[in-house]
Chain A
Amino acid sequence: MKTPRDILFQRHQAAEPKLDAIREAAVAAVGSRRMAVSPAVADRRYHWREFWFSLRWHLAGMSAVWLVIVLLNLNIGHSASLASAIPRGKIPPAQIILTSLRENRRELLEMMQVSESRESRPPKLFPIQPRSERFPETLTA
C-alpha cells in the first residue's frame, strides 16, 4: 500500500537529473548576482521594509496634509505677489495719500454726526420718566 505522494514522486523520479541541472543553473545565477550583504544586514533591511510598510497609511495621510499646506502657502504667496506687482511709478507720493486719508476721515465724521442728529429728531411717544414722577398722575385719577 502506498500513499498518493509516494506514487506521484515515484512516477517522476526520472526527472531528477534534469531538475538537478536546472537547480545548478539557478544557483549559479544567484552566485553571479550575489550581493555582499550579511544575513544580519538582510534581516535589518527586511525589518525596515516591514516597518515602513506598516506606516504606509500614516505616511499617505501626512503627505496629503503637507500637500494642502503647500497649496495654501502658494495661494498666499500669489496674493502678496499681486500687491507687489503694482508698478512703483503708479504709487502716489506720501503727502497726497495722507491728505486723502484725512479728507476721508473728515467725511466719515460728518456722516456720523448727520446720522446721530437724525436719530435724535423723532419724538418719543412714550418718554421714559422716572417712576417717582409718574406716580402722582395715577393717584389723582
Chain B
Amino acid sequence: MLVVAEREQLPVLQARAGEPAAWDTLFRRYQLPLYVYVFELVHDEQASLDLAQETFIAAVQHVGSLRDDEKFGSWLFGIAHQKCIQRWRKQNREELLRGEIAGAPDEFDDGPDDLLIRREQETEFMNLLNQLPLPQRSVLLLHFIEDFSLEEIARITEAQIGTVKSRLHYAKKALRKLLEEKK
C-alpha cells in the first residue's frame, strides 16, 4: 500500500536541474496515483496511459513554472486534470465537469480513511463512485488518493474552495448513504 506522507522529501530541486534520477524518483512516486485519478475520470485504459505520459512530459518541460517545491504533487495532478479537460473539450464533454452544487456545508473535518469499506462492498463502492457526477468524482478521488487539502484540490480543479467543500460533502454523503443501505 502506498502511504501518503505529509512532508515527503522529494528531489524536486534536483529535478529542476534536469537530473534523470530525480525525475525517476518523482514519477515512480506519482505514477500509480496519477493513473488511478485519470482512469477513474476517463474510464479508458489507453487514454489514461497516454494522459499519464503527456503529464510526465509536460512536467519536465514546465517544471520552471512550479513555484513551491512542496506542492509538486498537487502541481502534477493539476497538469493531469488540465489534460483531462483538454480531452473532454475535444469531445465536447467539458460541461460535465463544470456542474455546480448549490450551498456549501458548514463543517468539513473527516479524513479519507474515515470511510472504511468491507470486502463485499467494494464493487458497490466502485459502482457508486462511477455514478457520481464528474465534479464530485474528481474532488473525491483527489481526497481519497492523495489526501490533498481543500486548497490544493481547489487549485488542481480550478474551483473555489467553497465549491470543493460542497462537492466533497455531497459526494461523501452519497457514498455513506449507499454503504449504509447495503449493510
- A interface residues with partner B (beta carbon < 8 Å): 1-9, 11-13, 15-16, 18-20, 22-23, 25-31, 33-35, 37-39, 41-43, 46, 49-50
Contacts and interface: CB of A to CB of B under 8 A. Distances in A.
A31 B22 CA distance: 11
B16 A46 contact: yes
Interface stretch (B93-101, B108-116, B152-160): B108-116
Contacts of B33: 9
B119 A34 contact: no
Contacts of B113: 3, 5
A-B interface, 3 closest residue pairs, ranked by CB to CB distance from nearest: A26-B56, A42-B17, A4-B144
B40 to A, nearest CB: 7
Contact of B115 (A3, A16, A35, A38): A3
A1 B116 contact: yes
A7 B122 CA distance: 7
A135 to B, nearest CB: 93
B47 interface: no
Interface stretch (B23-31, B70-78, B80-88, B162-170): B23-31
Interface of B: 1-2, 4, 13-14, 16-20, 23-24, 27-28, 31-33, 35-36, 39-40, 45, 48-49, 52-53, 56-57, 60, 64, 67, 112-113, 115-119, 122, 125-126, 141, 144-145
Contacts of B13: 39, 42-43
A46 to B, nearest CB: 7
Contact of A23 (B27, B125, B141): B27
B79 to A, nearest CB: 13
8 contacts: A1-B116, A8-B40, A9-B1, A9-B33, A9-B36, A15-B39, A19-B49, A34-B19
Nearest to B69: A46
A61 to B, nearest CB: 23
A23 B55 CA distance: 11
Given A12-B32, A15-B45, A26-B27, A41 B17 contact: yes
A38 B17 contact: yes
A27 B28 CA distance: 10
Contact of B14 (A23, A27, A29, A39): A39
Contact of A30 (B45, B60, B117, B118): B60
